[in-house]
Amino acid sequence: MTGERVSKTRQARTDEIERLKKVFSESEGGVVTDFRGLKVKEITDLRRRFREKGVGYQVVKNTLTRLAVKDTGYEGLDSLLAGPTGIAFGSEDPIAAAQVAVEFSKDFEALQVKGGFMEGKVLSEGEVVELSKLSGKNELKAQFLSVLNAPSVRLLGVLNGVGQKFLGVLKAQEEKMEAS
């Protein structure tokens, strides 16, 4: 019976390592945090904020995470995996995880941003803070579309202005003819 329990535990560990490998491979970036000192209500609020931005947040076991990142390009995360660790995984927008974590850590000092990862590179705490200052993927798309759209909007304004001026001249001519 003891051997059976050990086998189930070993299988659970293997499954968790494989799941973490998959999450790391599917995410574009993420943030490693220390949540020590946060109350349950605050952690719930943090998870809600991450979810609203399409970011997953998981409390992880450091030893299993070390095994999961082996041979993935994120081996440098080992130095960040100490103490209670929560990782925010951004699969849609890698900047969103940094923005939420940094913003939340300003409101709740108990949340410590340890560092992060993006595109195979491990980021320091300072790099995560700098990353959080950038515009997110959706904001960049909106800015790009407005740049593409600007010339046509200006052209329409010019064409509309010419037509209105011409109508103004015709109206003035009409009023002049009616007055005489």
pLDDT in tens, the chain (180 residues): 455 666 778 888 999 999 999 988 888 889 999 999 999 999 999 999 999 988 999 999 999 999 988 877 788 888 899 999 999 998 777 788 999 999 999 999 999 999 999 888 899 999 999 988 877 666 666 666 666 666 776 766 777 777 777 777 778 888 888 877
Question: Same domain for 26 and 75?
Answer: yes
Question: Same domain for 126 and 157?
Answer: no
Question: Same domain for 130 and 140?
Answer: no
Domain that holds residue 58: 2-134
Domain boundary residue, one of 96, 119, 134: 134
Question: Same domain for 76 and 157?
Answer: no
Question: Same domain for 124 and 54?
Answer: yes
Question: Same domain for 73 and 48?
Answer: yes
Domain count, the chain: 2
For the chain, the DSSP string reads -HHHHHHHHHHHHHHHHHHHHHHHHH-SEEEEEE-TT--HHHHHHHHHHHHHTTEEEEEE-HHHHHHHHTTTT-GGGGGG--SSEEEEEESS-HHHHHHHHHHHHHH-TT-EEEEEEETTEEEEHHHHHHHHTS--HHHHHHHHHHHHHHHHHHHHHHHHHHHHHHHHHHHHHHHHHHH-
Question: Same domain for 84 and 45?
Answer: yes
Question: Same domain for 140 and 153?
Answer: yes
Question: Same domain for 76 and 158?
Answer: no
State if pTM tops 0.75.
Answer: no
Question: Same domain for 103 and 33?
Answer: yes
